[in-house]
Homo-oligomer: A and B are copies of this chain.
């Protein structure tokens, strides 16, 4: 059967590369491409995506997978060959459901929608983008119809990001979390706001840039296999296991922007750099789900990067870099500033505690849109109502309301948000398990050492790529299913201490 496996890998390698090449084209578009390159670039990305879809849905691949079925049954679930066959089959079977012309039409529409949103957002003009969003919603429902066995219209969309999750499973977890989080946010925000003015001074951009780069290298991000560039929206991208890049943005008057952006993206990048080399060129060579990916970016950004032990090590060198700005600011004041809780309208700027409320609002609203219970024209008002109810504030306008995130304006409506909060929940589950095995991790952080934590994550999560689903990983690591307990314990401990509640 090894020749069949070799044949499978030969078929899969170009599919992997076509995706990687598309990613490079998109990375370049976000970092260095001059404006004149835009129209050809859109054509080139669409062409590559078409080629990829063609090869992924090739009936020859289907036949090969059939021929490998009996062999697969003889192998343990966690063997590389079995995983390769299983995950390839999953991708192939999902892709063949969706006709190529539909994909081309939908992605053509999304490209236009993205352009419209780019202009509509700064202009605070939801009306212009509304017809686009209505059409995107229509495409999303038609997409779901290719999976008629689904229980909920959102399920096929959720499966694209968080395979194994469904609308009802997510809703159940989110309801539990919502019930515990809303009162906690109320109690904390009633204590008055922390003072974060120390972060709002002038910090020269190039010093911020260098410090961020130093921190993430210390965490384990390997610059021989990566790099840091600037882009309007930070992201991580993968051209091969040996080339995993991050982008950040820097703001002179916000010390957090570059630094936590870099740590967040480095979390994603550590995951991708940690995939076993032998998986390169296959669909296994990637983080397994949006949720698990986010669990890593949020673990490194928040649980590690906004913790006291972390800053016991990094604050003195930071003070040396910015003696005028931070020389007289105590570690405690700095730590409180980094963890200021505040009801605010923007998701990406939200603190750890309110962040999930933003996500859950979006998730609930997109379910209602997909179910047909909410019309796109009523979306801005529904948005404001939910913000009033959950966060006690109303966004000043649509720009900082319903237009703030690109997710609904560059692809299908549905599936792209739940991963953020699933990731937060998972991050605490994983860390709890790591600390149980290696309680020394906290002490090492105070020394600026992260090798034990990184190796544990690599061994348990990173190296496997997509061999295991999120549920598999959680079961293997914690011995049970996803649960919110450890995450709520973490939040209560941290913010209880910070706000004396």
Contact = CB atoms under 8 A, between A and B. Distances in A.
Contacts of A91: none
B229 A38 contact: no
A500 interface: no
A28 B36 contact: no
A21 B25 contact: yes
Nearest to A28: B24
Q: What's the number of copies of this chain in the assembled complex?
A: 2
A127 B467 CA distance: 47
A223 B20 contact: no
A240 B29 CA distance: 13
Interface in A31-73: 32-41, 43-44, 47-48, 51
A397 interface: no
A373 interface: no
Contact of A223 (B14, B24, B34): B34
A218 interface: no
Give the residue among A43, A47, A224, A245 with the most B Cβ atoms within 10 A: A43
A20 B34 contact: no
Given A14-B47, A47-B17, A39 B242 contact: yes
Give the residue among A13, A14, A240, A243 with the most B Cβ atoms within 10 A: A243
A239 interface: yes
B35 A224 contact: yes
A225 interface: yes
A129 to B, nearest CB: 26
Contacts of A226: 34, 36
Contacts of A241: 40
A4 interface: no
A240 B225 CA distance: 29
Contact of A21 (B33, B36, B37, B44): B44
A204 to B, nearest CB: 16
11 contacts: A20-B40, A34-B225, A34-B243, A36-B224, A36-B226, A37-B239, A37-B243, A38-B242, A41-B240, A41-B243, A44-B239
Interface of A: 13-14, 17, 20-21, 24-25, 28, 32-41, 43-44, 47-48, 51, 222-227, 229, 239-243, 245, 280
